[in-house]
Amino acid sequence: MTSLERELFELIKDYADFKSKTYSKHNVRDLDSFQILQNQINNTQSMQELNGICQRLCYFGVKSIANLKILNHFYNFLKENSKALKIKELKLLKESVVIDFLYNLSLRYKDSSIFVFKTNIGTFFKYLDKNRGYRFNFSLKMSLGKQVKIPKFLPKEKFFDFINYLKNASFHTDLDKRNRLIVLIVAYSGLRSSEVRGLKTTDITGDEQNYYFKVNGKGNKERIAIIRKELIEEFLQEWLNTPTRKRKNSKGYIFMTAKNTNTTSYFLNKILKKLGFLQDINVGLHMLRHSFGSYIYGETKDLILTQNALGHSNIETTKIYIHTNNDYCRQVANLF
């Protein structure tokens, strides 16, 4: 490493150590293993080694650590261009260099991604100003269009065709039974994937008619999701009584560890393609959350109800579901 590379690496390492301690841990299932891994950050000797630890921390449940990826890109950018830029010390770095870096990324990424990159790298430089004695004071002003896309979702008829197929299909492996239950819970409640995987047996209560799921959502906001017992009772008991669920140490989690999380998306896509609802593209569980939100708003036209059902903190986020509903378009068309 050159002196500049070493300086930047040590600062990124210090920042990664700080952020890994301050990011939310509410999705971390094994805190002991997390702590052992987190303690290794300060002993890393290369960006490659540091990236490996950050990836594993993300796997353990600290999803926000993925925001540090932009610093790896920036490190490589300076490494490749330091001679041309004639920068020997980081304090000589000019804001225009960071703007050029973001501009180069903007040729390959969407504006929404560049906005996230700009925010995350800006936070890094503010940290250096406040905690490490630098005086960058970068504003990083860039004109970025805010593109709002209508989310992918299943229309009402296909949504229920999909649910009915799931409920009537015969699955023989324990993993498929587990995935069926996860998918049904998301479809009937709109929970985020991380919220479902974070459910413990103690989070579920019930009465004669309903199951009540205590959910720890974004920002550690707690809410209750309700699903009628008759909709999932059979499939919940089916999974809880499988040899796999009984044999493995679940630490109280309904769906055990975070391992094999991609199998649920694979399971979902396989069924959607079998039904002819998907072609070449793949989707994740979030598509079912969007389908749930679109259905709830379409049936009720109640934004507040839809917001509460989805656990949105800002109703502006919920307003996207207005655009998934064709009733307004039909009203306009019928004016002519």
pLDDT digits (tens, 9 = 90+) for 41-55: 999 999 999 999 998
308/165 same-domain check: yes
Angle, alpha carbons 34-38-43 (nearest 5°)? 145
Q: What is the pLDDT of residue 227?
A: 96
121/27 same-domain check: yes
Q: What is the pLDDT of residue 328?
A: 62
111/213 same-domain check: no
98/200 same-domain check: no
Burial of 72 (0-12, 13-18, 19+ CB in 10 A): middle
Q: Concatenated DSSP letters for 146-164?
A: ---PPPP---HHHHHHHHH
Return d(Cα 57, Cα 70) in angstroms, integer: 16
Q: How does residue 260 score in pLDDT terms, banded at 50, 70 and 90?
A: very low
Q: Report the predicted TM-score, pTM, of the whole model to 2 decimal places.
A: 0.66
What pairs with residue 265 in β-bridges? none
Q: What is the pLDDT of residue 223?
A: 92
Q: What is the pLDDT of residue 236?
A: 95
Residue 20 domain boundaries? 3-131
Query: What percentage of residues in the chain have a pLDDT greater than 90?
Result: 53
Burial of 65 (0-12, 13-18, 19+ CB in 10 A): buried
Q: Which helix (H) or strand (E) holds 223?
A: strand 222-228
184/219 same-domain check: yes
Domain's final residue, options 116, 131, 146: 131
In a domain, 18, yes or no: yes
Q: How does residue 299 score in pLDDT terms, banded at 50, 70 and 90?
A: very high
Q: What is the pLDDT of residue 258?
A: 47
State the number of CA atoms in the 13 A half-sphere of 118 facing the CB: 22
Return d(Cα 254, Cα 101) in angstroms, integer: 44
Domain's final residue, options 98, 131, 164: 131
105/197 same-domain check: no
In a domain, 49, yes or no: yes
pLDDT at 284 > cutoff 70: yes
In a domain, 71, yes or no: yes
Q: What is the pLDDT of residue 95?
A: 93
DSSP state of 88: S
Other CB atoms within 10 Å distance of the CB of residue 87: 18
202/315 same-domain check: yes
In a domain, 142, yes or no: no
How remote is the C-alpha of 5 from its chain's centroid?
Answer: 31
Q: Which of 331, 334, 332, 301 is nearest to 318 (CA)?
A: 301
In this prediction, residues 286-290 reach a mean pLDDT of 92
Q: What is the pLDDT of residue 250?
A: 66
Return d(Cα 301, Cα 325) in angstroms, integer: 9
181/258 same-domain check: yes
| CATH code: domain of residue 314 | 1.10.443.10
CA Rg value for the chain: 23
42/112 same-domain check: yes
Strand pairing of 210-216 and 204-206? Answer: antiparallel
Q: How does residue 331 score in pLDDT terms, banded at 50, 70 and 90?
A: low
99/232 same-domain check: no
Other CB atoms within 10 Å distance of the CB of residue 122: 17
188/305 same-domain check: yes
196/83 same-domain check: no
In a domain, 336, yes or no: no
State how far the alpha carbon of 142 is from the alpha carbons of 94, 116, 121, in Å. Answer: 15, 12, 13
Sign of CA dihedral 138, 141, 145, 148: positive
